Amino acid sequence: MRNIMADHARQYETVARAIEFIRNNARRQPTLSEIAGSLGLSEFHLQRIFSEWAGVSPKRFLQYVTKEYAKQALRSSRDMLSVALEAGLSGPGRLHDLMVTCEAMSPGEIKSMGIGLEIRFGNALTPFGNSLIAWTQRGICHLEFVETDALEEAVVCLQKEWPTATYVRDQQRALELATTIFNVDPLGQPLHLILRGTNFQIKVWEALISVAPGEIVSYSQLATMIGLPKARRSVGTAIGKNNIALLIPCHRVIRETGEIGSYRWGPSRKAALLAREGAQFGPKEDE
């Protein structure tokens, strides 16, 4: 599994560059030949990379990057949200909310700034590049995507969050966690998260967890999910404070216009996350 993850991390770099080229040239809708040429690759090579990384052809994958697909996904999630709210559910998610559970740290734990707390951490390659993962005995408390040359800087920033905690580097466990986190098998091992934030932020993050892979919501839809339909801007601010990537899936929130919008770990990575999830979990159509 580790070799597969390393291969996918290398392939992701090519996919991200392809997405960046597409986003920069979206108006003229570049052909597959142009995209491959911009990367210095043959169409055959690009086809193989996409098929191995995303499980679909570049042609199919690129459909999930378009604004038209995003708008369609928003309409679909709006319908599911209406049904969910009528049934008294918190959001449109199906399986994802059963696989990721969470709890908030107590005010006393937050005030102590980590006294008596042991935080273990390590980096691991993922299908979306390198990552830094941190956890306590109670669960995962941090997950971010980070460039390899910025890893130690990211570790320093992590340690500043809990300045009085004890930090232990644990590469083996980080690799095991990455394997579990990025396993697309819906019957995989459940994961528990430890959240640190205001009551409002935690409410937003808990709602995000109910948005399943392949689903997309807008900022206003997410605000409706927490019962505060007019709090769209505050919801956006709370999303920006999320420091547990993927597991609290802030990448699944886009603008009403279908624009991907900002993302803490880069808009091209956000597009890659959404497109790969759409290809794996979204509606299947013929090529």
Which amino acid is present at 110? Answer: I
CB 118 within 8 A of CB 134: no
Rg (CA), the chain: 19
What mean pLDDT comes out for the span 132-151? Answer: 94
Pick the CATH number of 70-278 from 3.40.570.10, 1.10.10.10, 3.40.50.2300, 1.10.1060.10: 1.10.10.10
Q: Per-residue b/e over 223-260, b at no fewer than 16 CB within 10 Å? A: bbbbeeeebbebbbebbeebbbbbbbbbbbbbbeebeb
pLDDT at 200 over 90: yes
Higher pLDDT, 168 or 24: 168
Does the structure show a pLDDT above 50 at 192? Answer: yes
Instruction: Report whether pLDDT(58) > 50.
Output: yes
pLDDT of residue 95: 39
Given a cut of 90, whether residue 231 has pLDDT beyond it is yes
284 has pLDDT over 70: no
pTM of the model as a whole: 0.87
3-state secondary structure of 62: helix
Question: 132 by DSSP, 3-state: which?
Answer: strand
Q: Which of 20-24, 53-57, 89-93, 224-228 has the weakest average pLDDT? A: 89-93
Categorize the per-residue pLDDT at 85 as very low, low, confident or very high, splitting at 50, 70 and 90: low
Predicted pLDDT of residue 122: 97
Q: Give the pLDDT of residue 98.
A: 46
Report pLDDT for 66: 84
88 residue type, one letter: G
Indicate the domain borders of the chain: 2-64, 70-278
Residue 26 has pLDDT above 80, yes or no: no
What is the overall mean pLDDT for the chain?
86
pLDDT given for residue 108 in this prediction: 78
User: DSSP per residue over 46-58, as a string?
Assistant: HHHHHHHHHSS-H
Closest among 18, 20, 23 to 33, alpha carbons compared:
18
Task: Look at residue 195 and tell me whether its pLDDT is greater than 80.
Answer: yes
Active site residues: 250
pLDDT tier, 287 (very low <50, low <70, confident <90, very high otherwise):
very low
pLDDT for residue 237: 95
Q: How confident is the model at residue 136 (pLDDT cuts 50, 70, 90)?
A: very high
| pLDDT at residue 160 tops 60 | yes
| 23 or 42, which is more confident | 42
